[in-house]
Amino acid sequence: MMKKFNDTFLRAIRGEQIDHVPVWYMRQAGRYQAEYREIKKTRTLFEITHDSELGAYVTELPVKQLGVDAAILYKDIMTPLPSMGVDVEIKSGIGPVIANPIRTMADVEALQPFNREDIPYIYETIRLLRERLEVPLIGFSGAPFTLASYMIEGGPSKGYHKTKALMYGQPEVWHALMEKLGDMVIDYIKSQVDAGIQAFQIFDSWVGTTSRKDYVRYIKPTMERIFTELKDTGVPMIMFGVGASHLAEEWHSLPLDVVGLDWRLSIDEARERGLTKPVQGNLDPSYLLAPWDILEAKTKEILDMGMKQPGFIFNLGHGIFPEVDPEVLKRLTAFIHDYSKEKMEVGK
């Protein structure tokens, strides 16, 4: 018998009637899973994504194992960059490393427009997943600032000094780069929507390193254009970044649907600051290593805050890390479902 499609995640975003709080986890496909580690013994991330059957398997695995309410397409924020001429490799335990960093206007001019024909395997994975999944499929893209930070630094960074030096010192180069990456994000998300994704998240993971004033001046115009152009897709749009509480009002004012929060700003505080839109978050993933009663108490606290108004999706404040026990995530998912279900029934 076919199981009924669980659209709780999409209904929650629309503020519709639901019977439990939906949950999914950033990095729900990854090295905390034994099956994933086994696959990674012989294949790189790019090799997995080029194999649509394998990409679909890895995407679906946490949905089956944990019982989460949404799947996030397995790929990386680096996936579209080779199409633009970026020479990128993802090194295990380090992250993306780029051999041809951006330093000058000539480097920006040399970037090619993203071409969806370069990544047919991603769309094939989306099509396979839409046939198989009983929960919505989330697509995603990195945001221009976060992608630019890798492209300028040449890899992961602590201070983002080269990125900001280019932003402040060569603003015309910076804006040209933001424009090109903005074009890519728009077409890349549209292409994923055409293939069948049902929501998307924009990862501006490292944008919290900029001030509010700089965000408005150097980054927000491109974000405004991205969300304005993508609104027509009709697919819910989620924003996320780490340590970006000071930008929460700026995000809220963008034409997006869901504001993702990390653990630095509580949901109550976000509401007090006028964030009336649906929120997603925000358990500090470190709690996943704490004893169960401590994790449960914190989860309850977040659910109690999130459930004060419609439009709440439970997630972590950042991705799952390799040391986390899958059994803990399974128990947590069941707890979120049971606790919120009970609370909704009492509230009726």
Ligand X SMILES: Cc1c2[nH]c(c1CCC(=O)O)Cc1[nH]c(c(CCC(=O)O)c1C)Cc1[nH]c(c(CCC(=O)O)c1C)Cc1[nH]c(c(C)c1CCC(=O)O)C2
Binding site for ligand X (CB under 6 A): 26-31, 40, 45, 72, 74, 76-77, 90, 92-96, 140, 203, 205, 242, 319
Q: Residue 117: which residues within 8 A CB-CB, separation 6 or more?
A: none
Q: Toward ligand X, which CB reaches closer, 8 or 28?
A: 28
**Closest distance of CB 1 from ligand X, Å:** 29
Closest CA to 252 of 242, 263, 260, 264: 260
> What is the number of the residue whose Cβ is closest to ligand X?
205
Closest CA to 303 of 345, 261, 336: 336
Give strand pairing partners of 71: 137
**Left (φ > 0), alpha (ψ -120 to 50) or beta: where does 189 sit?**
alpha
Q: Alpha helix (H) ranges present in 154-291?
A: 161-169, 171-195, 212-214, 220-230, 248-252, 267-272
Q: Toward ligand X, which CB reaches closer, 17 or 92?
A: 92
Is there a binding annotation on residue 211? no
Q: Toward ligand X, which CB reaches closer, 9 or 339?
A: 9
Is there a binding annotation on residue 337? no
**Closest distance of CB 148 from ligand X, Å:** 12
Is there a binding annotation on residue 95? no
Closest CA to 18 of 312, 283, 334: 312
Q: How many CA atoms lie within 13 A of 258 on its CB side?
A: 30
Over its C-alpha atoms, the chain yields an Rg (Å, rounded) of: 19
**Closest distance of CB 39 from ligand X, Å:** 9
**Closest distance of CB 204 from ligand X, Å:** 9
Is there a binding annotation on residue 28? yes
Is there a binding annotation on residue 127? no
Is there a binding annotation on residue 46? yes
Q: Toward ligand X, which CB reaches closer, 281 or 339?
A: 281
**Closest distance of CB 154 from ligand X, Å:** 14
Is there a binding annotation on residue 76? yes
**Closest distance of CB 323 from ligand X, Å:** 12
- Residue 117's CB: how many other CB atoms inside 10 A? 8
Q: Toward ligand X, which CB reaches closer, 13 or 98?
A: 98
Q: Toward ligand X, which CB reaches closer, 142 or 311?
A: 142
**Left (φ > 0), alpha (ψ -120 to 50) or beta: where does 95 sit?**
left
Interhelix angle 171-195/161-169, nearest 10 degrees: 110
**Closest distance of CB 46 from ligand X, Å:** 9
Interhelix angle 144-153/161-169, nearest 10 degrees: 110
Determine how β-strand 88-91 pairs with β-strand 95-98: antiparallel
Q: How far is CA 64 from the centre of its chain?
A: 20
**Closest distance of CB 227 from ligand X, Å:** 18
Q: Toward ligand X, which CB reaches closer, 95 or 120?
A: 95
Q: Are 66 and 28 in contact (CB under 8 A)?
A: yes
- 233, two tokens: 């897709």
Q: Toward ligand X, which CB reaches closer, 26 or 166?
A: 26
Is there a binding annotation on residue 175? no
Annotated binding site for substrate: 27-31, 46, 76, 150, 205, 318
Annotated binding site: 27-31, 46, 76, 150, 205, 318
